[in-house]
Amino acid sequence: MKRKEFIKRSAIGLSVSLIAPSAFASTSSESKISKMAAKVIRSAEGKKVNVIGDNMTFKLTGEDTGGQFSLMQEYNEPGVGVPLHVHEHEDEIFKVLEGEIEMEVGDTKTVLRAGDIGFGPRGVPHAWRVVGTQKARVDLSIFPAGLENMFMELGQLPAGPPDFAKVTEICGRYGVRFV
């Protein structure tokens, strides 16, 4: 699939993921939403977590959004990435703000640059890696929220080479598996 077609399909997926949750909202979701407070997050603000080399700043969590979504910003050196994996429960949207990432979704692999969006729907294997010569800044939106708790757990692991068995166990509890 060509880059433009990939981006077009990603935009369609983004639209569906933003519209669909509100169309099927339940009463319990409505009560969580009604308790949400307005929030302004400045550029340098947020909880910083190193998730096995992936430098994330939590901007909005499920606690902030009534469980609807979470938003993290990643800022990583070339070579940093996440191997091919599948989510059972979440859809992910990657918006590149600066730099370049190579993204693989299903059988498509392409490079996303500043302004491009990639959509990793639940159930579809996907991976990403920073490419090029500069750091990449990416906004990662996850629908619904909750996966930030997995990232927090992974961020608590000791420094150094990760214990892949422990990483797999933590991810498995959140419905994420590596392929």
pLDDT in tens, the chain (179 residues): 566 666 666 655 555 455 555 544 545 556 666 678 999 999 999 999 999 999 999 999 999 999 999 999 999 999 999 999 999 999 999 999 999 999 999 999 999 999 999 999 999 999 999 999 999 999 999 999 999 999 999 999 998 889 999 999 999 999 999 99
Cα–Cα nearest to 69, from 139, 154, 8, 153:
139
Question: pLDDT at position 96, please?
Answer: 98
H helices within 24-146, ranges in order? 27-34, 62-65
Token representation of residue 82: 């996440």
Tokens 């090029």: give the residue: 132
Q: How far is CA 122 from CA 47, 133, 138, 176, 178, in A?
A: 25, 30, 19, 10, 13
Question: pLDDT at position 32, please?
Answer: 62
Question: pLDDT at position 129, please?
Answer: 98
Show Cβ contacts of residue 31 under 8 Å, excluding neighbours closer than 6 positions. none
Tokens 């990939």: give the residue: 6
Token representation of residue 100: 């370049």
Within 10 angstroms of residue 8's Cβ, the number of other Cβ atoms is 12
List, in order of start, the domains of the chain with CATH numbers: 3-178 (2.60.120.10)
